[in-house]
Amino acid sequence: MRVALYPFAVSEEPQRNLESVRRALEQAAREGAELLVLPELWISSFVGDADAIAARAAEDERFVAAMQAEAAPLGVSFIGSALAVGTRAPRNRAHLAGAGGVQMLGDKAHLFRLTGEHLAFERGSAAPGAAAVGTTRVGAAICYDLRFPEVVRASWRAGAEIVCCVAQWGLPRTRHLRALTLGRAVELQGYVLTVNRSGQATLGRSVVHYGGEALVASPDGEFLPSHTTALGLHLVTLDLELARTRRAEVPVQRDDQARVW
């Protein structure tokens, strides 16, 4: 399965981000990719106070639907996260969009207090799931959620062979991002694809710099090399049979004791 990762610098202007992703979808299709992975909050980022973020939630949902309508004829599905309308405040929602429509994969359950996410968002209250892309199933983790193994474990129990971590992860903790990506892939007995935005943003009184990582970790706990295009897409071919072989060799799911925890 061929996948494309796009760690672009998310702008404060949604229309610029939409156009950037539109070009990425077109190039992914030309390169034969079935799946395009985008950063966290790829439409409008974290710009503004809690009221401003809440005001954009319904608009983000419409933008995801509009982009899905463009992706479907190209034969490419995309994964990212966007604002979604919640009960008391907006949620940060991971979506898979393509020929099957827009499917919710889960809401961010762990809100990053260091940048005040808990003041602007409602946390997810249900375990994430997985959805079909081609012959496989895909789940998602949203940035800080990657630190909590239960998130990837839930996708694993839902049949995911691939989990995509969509992120806006600051540079000081890049080593953590890399280590967690590898560890979660071993736990998943599958592939973890991490896409972290590039560039910088002002959050409150702080300027946060991002590393622009595009990481593909294999079931054997190794990073796979990618081919990078002029647009900035990172292209990788995944051997899904490797994941299936590793799961057959060590049938961890047979011994899963979820009820204990």
List pLDDT tens digits, range 30-69: 999 999 999 999 999 987 778 888 889 999 999 999 999 9
Between CA 39 and CA 213 the distance in angstroms is: 10
Q: Report whether 234 contacts 226 (CB < 8 A).
A: yes
Mean pLDDT score, 109-136:
92
Of the candidate ranges 129-143, 144-158, 246-260, the one whose mean pLDDT is the lowest: 246-260
pLDDT at residue number 76: 97
- Number of folded domains that form the chain: 1
Task: Give the pLDDT band (50/70/90) at residue 84.
Answer: very high
Model confidence at 259: pLDDT above 80: no
Between CA 92 and CA 60 the distance in angstroms is: 10
Burial zone of 167 (CB within 10 Å; 0-12 exposed, 13-18 middle, 19+ buried): buried
Quote the domain boundaries for residue 174. 2-260
pLDDT at residue number 202: 82
pLDDT at residue number 220: 97
pLDDT at residue number 257: 87
Token code pair at residue 175: 């080593």
Model confidence at 217: pLDDT above 90: yes
Model confidence at 172: pLDDT above 80: yes
pLDDT at residue number 161: 98
Model confidence at 261: pLDDT above 80: no
On whether the pTM is more than 0.85, the answer is yes
The residues facing 82 across adjacent strands are: 93
180: domain CATH number is 3.60.110.10
Q: Report whether 153 contacts 187 (CB < 8 A).
A: yes
Task: Give the pLDDT band (50/70/90) at residue 206.
Answer: confident
Q: How many helices (H) and strands (E) does the chain have?
A: 6, 14
Model confidence at 88: pLDDT above 80: yes
Percent of the chain with pLDDT over 90: 85
